[in-house]
Structure 1
Amino acid sequence: MDSCKHLIIGAGPAALAAAQAIRTCDKAAGITLVTREETLPYSPAVLPYLLNEELTEKELFAKGRDLLAALKINLICCKEVAAVLHETKEVKFTSGQCQAYDKLLIATGAAPQIPAIENLEPDQIYTFRTFSDFEKLHRTLTDKQTVAIYGAGLVAVEAAEKLCMAGHRVTIIARSSLLRKYFSPKNVAVLEQAFSRHGGRIRTNNTLASVRKVEDKLELMLSNNEKLVVDRLLVATGVTPNLIDNDLIPVIEGGLKVGRHMETNLPDIYAAGDVAAAPSFYDGRNAPCPILPEAVLQGKIAGANMAGKVVEYSGWIPGNYLRCFDESLFSVGLTGIQSGSRYKTLEKQAGGSSLKLIFTDDCLVGVEALNMKLIHPGVFLNLIRKKIPVTEYQELLLAKPRETACWLMLKQGKTQAV
């Protein structure tokens, strides 16, 4: 019997996680990754570290190169899939060529979303989603320059930090507030102070109204009538899933709808990562969750099911980690809610650190921390995902979070083993 042909469209974290899961289950399966990029696989999440040379290009591609060799994966570069022909179990490339598959994973990620800005020409902006985006920007940063970043999410903040560290003069333009969806205002204020100490500027509650080229610079007009003259404009205002032309897979909030096994409605076709609209952990609502840990987990679930195992995805949980200058923040789960009849919140502050825990019934549902550097967010994520009862230990979890979280995980493991 011929070995199963697994075709994965994409070469990011979800794709690599799926390939690893397939190979773990099936040593003989054929695994092919198709990417429209020219490079070896890499994680887009670490691209900002190239800006100030915390990471080298060699290091960026090392893991992908090693995985391809270790897992015996075939990589096809510079090929873009135009359509999925599910009836014949083929994908069609923009070149007109076709490739057959037995099982297909769509892990095409997401692309930058560019808002409408008066007089803005495509060649006047930079984005920061792919390695080629980095190369395009890096080529222009030959000396210390003035850079405006339009956007207030994690990509915008991380790029701004690394550019500041590299000696550039950086201004962030935020349509509302910095990192509004991820962290509390008091923790964001700590980040804003750090940017100010390192020469960065932040313009909140502003939109970029228009752009005008003046010689070799750009004149930016903000909604509050402030003018900024900059050398470079980086747009990081969000992403939109990279869909493939196929009208048969339902699209929800921009992503391909999948079930608990990361399966689409079409036989033997799965989706994972930023392109997938998977069920939420909390309410089962389908929507994309474009964060690295969930992309990896979805890839693992998809790969295992493609290889014949039956593994269920418990649903995506929001989670964000940021190390910026000397500050570190993370949030996991439901954090933007207040204490009430359903939720209970415990908080503590000590020096320059803080911790907030949110509970409902007898389980932890959310955590936000500032400068709690000895605590790994993954431990709290496991407590939430596994719904481990913590009623008796809520105060202890706040007082000694690292030790208590690890003990609860160990205790649960022993209980399940009995």
Structure 2
Amino acid sequence: MKVLIIGNGAAAISGARALRQLNKDWEIELVADEVHPFYSRVMLPEYLAGRVSQEDLYLVDWDFYQKLNIKVTLGTRIEALEPTLARAVTASGEKIDYDLLLIAAGARPVLPEVEGANLQGVFTLRTIADVEAMGRYLESTHVERAIIVGGGLVSLRSAEAFRKLGISVTIVVSSGRLMSQTLDEASAQALLRAVREAGCEVLFNEDVTAFHGDVHLRGAELASGGRVVGQLALIGKGVRPRLSLVPGTSIAVDRGILVDEYLQTSIPGIYAAGDVVQAYDLIRKGKVCNGIWPSAVRQGRIAGWNMAGLGVRDDGDIPMNAVHLFGCSICSLGALTGDETHVRGSFQEDNYRKLVFSRSQLVGALFWGNLRDAGRYYWLLRTGRNPNGRTPPVWAWEKLRS
């Protein structure tokens, strides 16, 4: 039996480990377009800031694949799938046969279709190669100000990295607050204060409509008619599942590859996991693209188990983000809107805690500063624990340590 794994991120590695633990004899081949071993994408801004080395990013040693008896081919892109023939085709035309397939191809950055996006000095931050390209540019070009497009996690971590390098920063945010998909209004305002105290300029309800310059970037034009001067721009408008393998196949897709509760696609024997999939969300009660590390690890593991024949169901995702930004420790779980909310602590005390309920069911939580109880609330959300006959805030707060 031969298993082909496309990708080398959290879902791919988790799936490979699960498969090998259950079956020592199957042939496993892993193919990925990057040339590096499995590494931490969340640490890329720290690499950009020079606070960690490239080797510090690696989550496995180079001999990891050999120890698991996995044939690994890095620096090779799978360009097409031929499911009826059970094979994949690389960019060079090589054909790779398989019996079972795990698609863990990840996601790609969202790029706005604006004039000047191909100028030197306009970047995204998704890979080690992206950081290395920015590093070369910073060495060869005098950069006084970076323009950050987007107010999400990648954008803010990048802004923090540039400030550590002594580069001025302007953040252009299309919505009315930072991390609008993750934080509530109060926590977004508290984070904004920290971002501005670090010396970043933030423009809300704005969009970049064009980049301008000769060969190198010189600035950006805004929807309001204004301009921002900058010698480097980083686009952080989120990611989308990499679906380039799907056209020409009968694999069902929506925003991502659609999978069932066993992480199998619409084609038997083909599984998918991680940022590339659209899977069930326990809070939103539907299939969504979450694109978070814990989900990728869990999905990859369950896909690996099921490829080995265990028949394990995936209960679904819980939206989660735990970050440390501009001196602020934040953990957001589930949904932050509901018909009942309860707050304790304050940002000033660095101990803000918020619980969100819908129809007396806990659906979300937000922690600022002291994150030590976040894990137990993740468990409550994941298991749906909700003691009957008790006022929601009472039993819920009892789970918090004093």
Report the TM-score when normalising by structure 2.
0.92
8 A contact 1:144–1:167 mirrored in 2: no
Letter in 1 for 2:254: I
1:353 aligns with 2:354: no
Q: Which of 244, 251, 254 is 1:252 aligned to?
A: 254
In 1, Cα distance between the equivalents of 2:343 and 2:70?
A: 48
Q: Could you tell me how far 1:85 is from its partner in structure 2?
A: 1.4
**Aligned pair in 2 of structure 1 residues 368, 110: CA closer, same or farther (>3 Å)?**
same
8 A contact 1:109–1:242 mirrored in 2: yes
Q: Could you tell me how far 1:313 is from its partner in structure 2?
A: 0.7
- What percent identity do the matched residue pairs reach? 30
1:297 aligns with 2:283: no
CA RMSD of aligned residues (A): 2.1
1:88 aligns with 2:89: no
Q: Give the gaps of 5 or more residues in structure 2.
A: none
Q: Could you tell me how far 1:390 is from its partner in structure 2?
A: 4.0
SS at match of 2:296: helix
In 1, Cα distance between the equivalents of 2:319 and 2:63?
A: 30
Task: Write 1 or 2 for the structure with the bigger share of helix.
Answer: 1
Aligned to 2:166: 167
SS at match of 1:401: coil
Q: Deviations over 1:34-90 (max 9, x none)?
A: 001122121322211212233221111242536424423221012111221112211
Letter in 2 for 1:147: A
Q: Could you tell me how far 1:169 is from its partner in structure 2?
A: 1.1
Q: Deviations over 1:152-171 (max 9, x none)?
A: 11111111112212222111
Aligned to 1:145: 144
In 2, Cα distance between the equivalents of 1:48 and 1:69?
A: 30
Query: After alignment, is 73-82 or 100-109 more displaced?
Result: 73-82
Q: Which of 12, 15, 25 is 1:15 aligned to?
A: 12
8 A contact 1:217–1:229 mirrored in 2: no
8 A contact 1:355–1:398 mirrored in 2: no
Q: Deviations over 1:213-255 (max 9, x none)?
A: 05754121212232211110111112121111343011112x1
8 A contact 2:143–2:230 mirrored in 1: no
Q: Could you tell me how far 1:257 is from its partner in structure 2?
A: 0.7
SS at match of 2:136: helix
Number of aligned positions between the proteins? 393
**Aligned pair in 2 of structure 1 residues 215, 121: CA closer, same or farther (>3 Å)?**
closer
**Aligned pair in 2 of structure 1 residues 32, 231: CA closer, same or farther (>3 Å)?**
same
1:230 aligns with 2:230: yes
Q: Could you tell me how far 1:151 is from its partner in structure 2?
A: 0.9
8 A contact 1:252–1:287 mirrored in 2: no
8 A contact 2:121–2:217 mirrored in 1: no
Letter in 1 for 2:137: T
In 2, Cα distance between the equivalents of 1:120 and 1:102?
A: 42
1:366 aligns with 2:367: no
In 1, Cα distance between the equivalents of 2:167 and 2:121?
A: 18
Q: Give the gaps of 5 or more residues in structure 1.
A: 404-418
What does residue range 7-406 of structure 1 map to in structure 2 within 5 Å?
A: 7-63=4-60, 65=62, 67-121=64-118, 123-142=120-139, 145-176=144-175, 177-213=177-213, 216-243=216-243, 244=245, 245-253=247-255, 255-282=256-283, 284-335=285-336, 337-339=337-339, 344-350=340-346, 351-360=349-358, 363-375=361-373, 377-390=374-387, 392=390, 394-395=393-394, 397-398=396-397, 401-402=400-401
Q: Deviations over 1:9-34 (max 9, x none)?
A: 00011101111111221122222210
In 2, Cα distance between the equivalents of 1:300 and 1:379?
A: 22
**Aligned pair in 2 of structure 1 residues 330, 66: CA closer, same or farther (>3 Å)?**
farther
**Aligned pair in 2 of structure 1 residues 64, 44: CA closer, same or farther (>3 Å)?**
farther
**Aligned pair in 2 of structure 1 residues 32, 179: CA closer, same or farther (>3 Å)?**
same
**Aligned pair in 2 of structure 1 residues 169, 16: CA closer, same or farther (>3 Å)?**
same
In 2, Cα distance between the equivalents of 1:203 and 1:358?
A: 29
Report the TM-score when normalising by structure 1.
0.88
Query: After alignment, is 65-74 or 234-243 more displaced?
Result: 65-74
Q: Could you tell me how far 1:329 is from its partner in structure 2?
A: 0.9
In 1, Cα distance between the equivalents of 2:204 and 2:117?
A: 21
Query: After alignment, is 48-57 or 179-188 more displaced?
Result: 48-57
8 A contact 2:121–2:231 mirrored in 1: no
In 1, Cα distance between the equivalents of 2:86 and 2:249?
A: 16
Q: Deviations over 1:316-360 (max 9, x none)?
A: 22111220121111111111x132xxxx32211242321111234
8 A contact 1:346–1:398 mirrored in 2: no
**Aligned pair in 2 of structure 1 residues 66, 345: CA closer, same or farther (>3 Å)?**
farther
Q: Deviations over 1:91-134 (max 9, x none)?
A: 11121111111110001011111112234325441010111111
8 A contact 1:30–1:73 mirrored in 2: yes
8 A contact 1:220–1:229 mirrored in 2: yes
8 A contact 2:87–2:98 mirrored in 1: yes
Query: After alignment, is 44-53 or 58-67 more displaced?
Result: 58-67
In 2, Cα distance between the equivalents of 1:76 and 1:318?
A: 32
SS at match of 1:141: helix
In 2, Cα distance between the equivalents of 1:394 and 1:68?
A: 48
Q: Could you tell me how far 1:299 is from its partner in structure 2?
A: 0.8
Q: Deviations over 1:265-290 (max 9, x none)?
A: 11210011111111222354222211
Query: After alignment, is 52-61 or 202-211 more displaced?
Result: 52-61
